[in-house]
């Protein structure tokens, strides 16, 4: 089987369990593992539904929630399910999201045995006080220990999730976290701005004035500081929140560690999402599952797909989405796509003059300043 990295579908599995709920998080997860067995049974039934529609993948991403919360039997069962129904290319990128406090030498050996070749560690910060503020269960010391174990177990593709823009955070504190992160030479960094959704405990605290989120200008400065700091140290800023380490050029080109799976989301490559709340996309159609574990399991129990909604994108919607996704990435948007918009040349001249985009060969790419407003750029070109 020959699968091209950027056209083969990707498989995402949402593991909707967390030991505790972080007060800023609006991902779907539950803290009781009572339904874990039912979830694994439902997942099996769901995977079976898609075996003909999605016969093969070259990326697998176990996210959540907290996939590292699964024990050896549960994780092996889940993987057996996936391998029963789907084929995976020999070089499949297999990512597992893990929390530092779940990492042990035994678990890492299990992950290697099961074929995990990329770990995404939810470090969030290397500052103990910030971790307490975020109500994370782990300490920075535990993260350091987890990283040492991960490297000792031979994992050569390790990424950290980090959060910046905490209320009252100083740029120096964020730079210290970045410096500590880089001391472990991670292959990948996802740097997220803290956003406080209204329906989260921290969002409600902000609405009540008990927590003061950083203003737009301060957030913008953090974003630009992050871009400068990491790109100066050899990381490729390949998507608004994502940075990949690049190795020195060698014969055969420069190796980089962009996440193959996530690239599919930004380039309209088909993907299948299994589990509560997971989204899928194929041939211009998008569908998404029930968010609640109970509804998800009940649908599959009744022999029905657990789909809560679906849409087929019109050519105009697909074009607009191509702009939204493209302006978020270092690959940008093809000039040919912009040319559908009357007056596109004048708009391009204006945005280039404002330092928000630049033309690279036949593509228009957001500059770091443009990435700050990446979501607004497409509106200029919306036909
Ligand atoms: S561990 Fe991750 S998914 Fe779970 S509540 Fe915290 S931030 Fe959300």
- What are the boundaries of each domain within the chain? 10-265, 315-383
Query: How confident is residue 247, by pLDDT bands cut at 50, 70 and 90?
Result: confident
The residues that bridge with 12 in the sheet, in sequence order, are 61, 273
Report which protein residue has its CA nearest ligand 1's atom 3: 65
**How confident is the model at residue 129, as a pLDDT?**
96
Helix-then-strand count for the chain, H and E:
15, 15
Q: Is 134 in the pocket of ligand 1 (CB under 6 A)?
A: no
Indicate which atom in ligand 1 lies nearest the CA of residue 18: 4
Residue 299 in contact with residue 44, Cβ under 8 Å? no
Top mutation candidate among 27, 31, 103 for ligand 1, by most atoms within 8 Å of CB: 27
Task: Provide the edge-to-edge strand list for the sheet that holds 333-334.
Answer: 333-334, 363-366, 357-360
Closest by Cα among 19, 24, 117 to 66? 19
Ligand 1 pocket test target in 14, 16, 18 with most atoms within 8 Å of CB? 18
| Residue 4: pLDDT over 60 | no
Of all protein residues, whose CA lies closest to atom 6 belonging to ligand 1? 22
What is the C-alpha to C-alpha distance for residues 90 and 278, in angstroms, rounded to an integer?
25
Q: Give the pLDDT of residue 254.
A: 66
Instruction: Answer whether residue 252 shows pLDDT above 80.
Output: no
**Fold: same for 10-265 and 315-383:** no
Instruction: Tell me the best of 13, 20, 25, 293 to mutate to test the pocket of ligand 1, counting ligand atoms within 8 Å of each CB and taking the most.
Output: 25
Q: Rounded to whole angstroms, what are the CA distances from 307 to 61, 186, 361?
A: 20, 37, 41
- Per-residue pLDDT of 321-349, as tens digits, reads 999 999 999 999 999 999 888 889 999 99
CA-CA distance, 266 to 262, in Å (whole number)? 7
- Report the C-alpha gap between 358 and 367 in whole angstroms: 7
What is the mean pLDDT of the segment spanning 359-368? 95
**End-to-end Cα, the chain, rounded Å:** 40
Q: pLDDT tens digits for 264-286?
A: 999 999 999 999 999 999 999 99
Locate the ligand 1 atom nearest the alpha carbon of residue 20 and give its number. Answer: 5
- Using a 6 Å cutoff on CB, does residue 22 contact ligand 1? yes
pLDDT surpassing 70 at residue 36: yes
Q: What is the pLDDT at residue 1?
A: 34
Short-list 105, 43, 95, CA closest to 67? 95
CA dihedral sign, ordered 153, 179, 138, 209: negative
Strands (E), the chain: 10-15, 56-64, 87-98, 118-124, 158-164, 188-193, 235-239, 242-245, 271-274, 279-282, 285-289, 307-312, 333-334, 357-360, 363-366
* Helices 36-49, 72-85: crossing angle, 10 deg rounding: 10
Task: Specify the CATH class of 10-265 in words.
Answer: alpha beta
Residue nearest to ligand 1 atom 8, measured at CA: 25
Ligand 1 centroid, distance to 354 Cα (angstroms): 38
**Overall average pLDDT of the 142-156 stretch:** 97
pLDDT, tens digit (0-9, with 9 covering 90-100), for 63-88: 999 999 999 999 999 999 999 999 99
CATH number, span 315-383: 1.10.10
CB 211 within 8 A of CB 196: yes
């Amino acid at each position: 089987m020959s699968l091209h990295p950027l056209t083969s579908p990707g498989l995402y599995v949402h593991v909707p369990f967390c030991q505790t709920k972080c007060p800023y998080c609006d991902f779907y997860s539950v803290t009781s593992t009572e339904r874990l067995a039912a979830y694994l049974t439902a997942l099996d039934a769901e995977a079976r539904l898609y075996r003909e529609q999605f016969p093969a993948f070259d990326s697998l991403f176990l996210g959540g929630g907290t996939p590292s919360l699964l024990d050896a039997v549960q994780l092996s069962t889940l993987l057996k399910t996936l391998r029963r129904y789907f084929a995976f290319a020999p070089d499949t990128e297999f990512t597992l999201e893990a929390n530092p406090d779940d990492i042990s030498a035994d678990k890492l050996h299990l992950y290697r045995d099961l074929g995990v070749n990329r770990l995404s560690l939810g470090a969030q910060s290397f500052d103990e006080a910030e971790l307490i503020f975020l109500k994370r269960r782990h300490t920075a010391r535990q993260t350091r220990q987890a990283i040492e174990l991960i490297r000792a177990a031979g994992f050569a593709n390790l990424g950290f999730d980090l959060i910046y823009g905490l209320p009252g955070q100083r740029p120096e504190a964020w730079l210290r976290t970045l410096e500590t992160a880089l001391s472990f030479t991670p292959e990948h960094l996802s740097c997220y701005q803290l956003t406080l959704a209204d329906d989260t405990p921290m969002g409600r605290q902000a609405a009540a004035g008990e927590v003061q989120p950083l203003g737009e200008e301060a957030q913008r400065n953090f974003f630009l500081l992050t871009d400068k700091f990491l790109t100066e140290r050899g990381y490729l800023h390949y998507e608004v929140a994502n940075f990949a380490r690049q190795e020195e050029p060698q014969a055969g080109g420069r190796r980089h560690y962009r996440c193959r799976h996530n690239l599919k989301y930004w380039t309209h490559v088909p993907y299948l999402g299994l589990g509560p709340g997971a989204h899928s996309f194929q041939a211009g159609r998008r569908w998404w599952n029930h968010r609640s574990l109970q509804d998800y399991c009940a649908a599959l129990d009744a022999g029905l797909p657990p789909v809560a909604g679906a849409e087929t994108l019109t050519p105009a919607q697909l074009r607009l989405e191509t702009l939204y996704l493209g302006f978020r990435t270092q690959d940008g948007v093809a000039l040919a796509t912009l040319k559908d918009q009357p007056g596109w040349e004048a708009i391009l001249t204006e945005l280039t003059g404002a330092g928000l985009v630049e033309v690279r060969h036949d593509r228009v790419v957001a500059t770091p300043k443009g990435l700050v407003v990446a979501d607004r750029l497409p509106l200029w070109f919306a036909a």
